[in-house]
Amino acid sequence: MDDSLSFESFFEGAKKAAHRAMDDHGRSEHDEFALHAGVAVEKLAKAVLVSKNPLYIADIRNADMMLYLGNHLQLPAEKVRTAGAKEAIARLRRIGVLPQQDPQLDLLIEMRNGAAHATPDSTLAKGMISPLARTIETMLGDLGTPLDGFWERWTKAVQDAVNEQEDQVFRDVHLRIAQARHAFEDRFIGLPPEIKEQLLKSPQPRAEEHWIRELQIRDHSVVVLKSASGTCPACGGEGLLAFEPVAFTPGATTFKATGFGCYLCSFEVSGSDELAVLREAHVPDLMNSMTVTHGRTSPPEDLAMGEPQAG
């Protein structure tokens, strides 16, 4: 029998596809994500079937395949056919490995099959992390394989993705942290460690994003203040907080944090809910608000920043 139909081949193929799917998701390449996620599920499903009996992956439309898989018949490569993704999943359902009903898993496989012909809905594809992680966890449990034996560096992100004790905002933020971290680390593969360290210590590269100079005050208009403010939880570099004004007096403006971004690894969060997750889990000293004292006509670079109001 062809080695490509062995348990080891299916398992390693599933792991490679799953890791690529996580990379795709982090780059918002949702068509590629749907394709690789579906491939990962299909290959791991076949690995589980082979672990029970190699005949279980046979395409039932070709009787010769059972003889081939039983090592009683030779077939040319072009005639070797195994069950498709839907059939492999159906067989695991019939023997009790996967749940009988899982609309999200079915949708993921449909998106995978359509990815080669049309771009899947980005919103739907983005939410397919959960069925991918959940299904793979179930199949790994049947194999007796620990999560980190399959997911490796993605293990924590996958665990967060299926953590029903936390809300969707928590899961999204933690996933984006992991995706940004791994994408950043991958940029330095094969390079001396000091290259990464030098980059992390380098100053902000764009003058318009340097410290408080970006602040502009306009009457009755939204003002955004970006200020170096704490360590990025993804790459360890210094990120920038974005603020919007929430209160005005003749001598001061109070700003509230509305987002955080890192130019080094492109990690971003926006809105009070995502900032709350970031602050509670990763950067507790991240400023929540600040007061800037000023005169009515002071230019932005002459503004004096007041005491940050944490919390």
For residues 127 and 241, membership in a common domain is answered with no
Instruction: Give pLDDT tens digits for 48-65.
Output: 999 999 889 888 777 777
Are 246 and 256 in contact by the 8 Å Cβ rule? The answer is yes
User: Across residues 104-127, what is the average pLDDT?
Assistant: 74
Residue 303 has pLDDT above 60, yes or no: no
CA 208 to chain centre: 29
Confidence band, pLDDT 50/70/90 cuts, at residue 138: very high
In this prediction, residue 242 has a pLDDT band, given cuts at 50, 70 and 90, of confident
Residues 108 and 229 in one domain: no
The pLDDT mean for the chain works out to 80
Kindly state whether residue 45 falls inside one of the protein's structural domains. Answer: yes
Evaluate whether 145 touches 252 at the Cβ level (below 8 Å): no
Q: Is the model's pLDDT at 70 over the cut of 90?
A: no
DSSP H/E element including 135? helix 129-143
Res 248: pLDDT? 76
Q: Is residue 300 over pLDDT 60? A: no
Of 118, 152, 186, the residue that ends a domain is 152
Residue pair 108/130 in contact (Cβ under 8 Å)? The answer is no
Q: Look at residue 310 and tell me whether its pLDDT is greater than 50.
A: no
Which range has the top average pLDDT, 70-74, 120-124, 139-143, 238-242?
A: 139-143
One domain, residues 144 and 27? yes
- Regarding whether 26 and 109 lie in a shared domain, the answer is yes
Whether 10 shows a pLDDT value over 80: the answer reads yes
Last residue of a domain, one of 110, 128, 152: 152
pLDDT value of position 306? 38
Same domain membership, residue 271 and residue 136: no
Asked if residue 188 is part of any domain, the answer here is no
In a domain? residue 193: no
CA distance 22 to 183: 10
Residue 145 lies in a domain: yes
Q: Does residue 170 lie within any of the structural domains? A: no
Q: How many domains does the chain contain in total?
A: 2
Does the pLDDT of residue 135 top 50, yes or no?
A: yes
Per-residue pLDDT, averaged over 71-88, amounts to: 78
Euclidean distance between CA atoms 17 and 42, whole angstroms:
10
Q: Indicate if 147 and 269 belong to the same structural domain.
A: no
Among 98-102, 216-220, 255-259, 299-303, the range of highest mean pLDDT: 98-102
Q: Is residue 29 part of a domain?
A: yes
Exposure of 24 by Cβ count < 10 A (0-12 exposed, 13-18 middle, 19+ buried)?
Answer: buried
pLDDT in tens, 196-225: 888 887 655 555 444 333 444 455 554 545
Is there a domain that residue 40 lies in? Answer: yes
**Domain housing 215:** 207-310
Residue 47 binned pLDDT confidence (cut-offs 50, 70, 90) = very high
pTM of structure: 0.73
The answer to whether residue 181 sits within a structural domain is: no
The reply to whether 38 and 101 lie within a common domain is yes
Task: Supply the CATH number for residue 90's domain.
Answer: 1.20.120
Q: What is the pLDDT of residue 137?
A: 95
Query: What pLDDT is attached to residue 160?
Result: 83
Q: What pLDDT, on the 0 to 100 scale, is given for residue 120?
A: 55
Confidence bin at 171 (pLDDT 50/70/90): confident
Q: Tell which of 131, 152, 173 closes a domain.
A: 152
Comparison of pLDDT for 3 and 33, the residue scoring more: 33
Q: Is the pLDDT of residue 117 over 50?
A: no
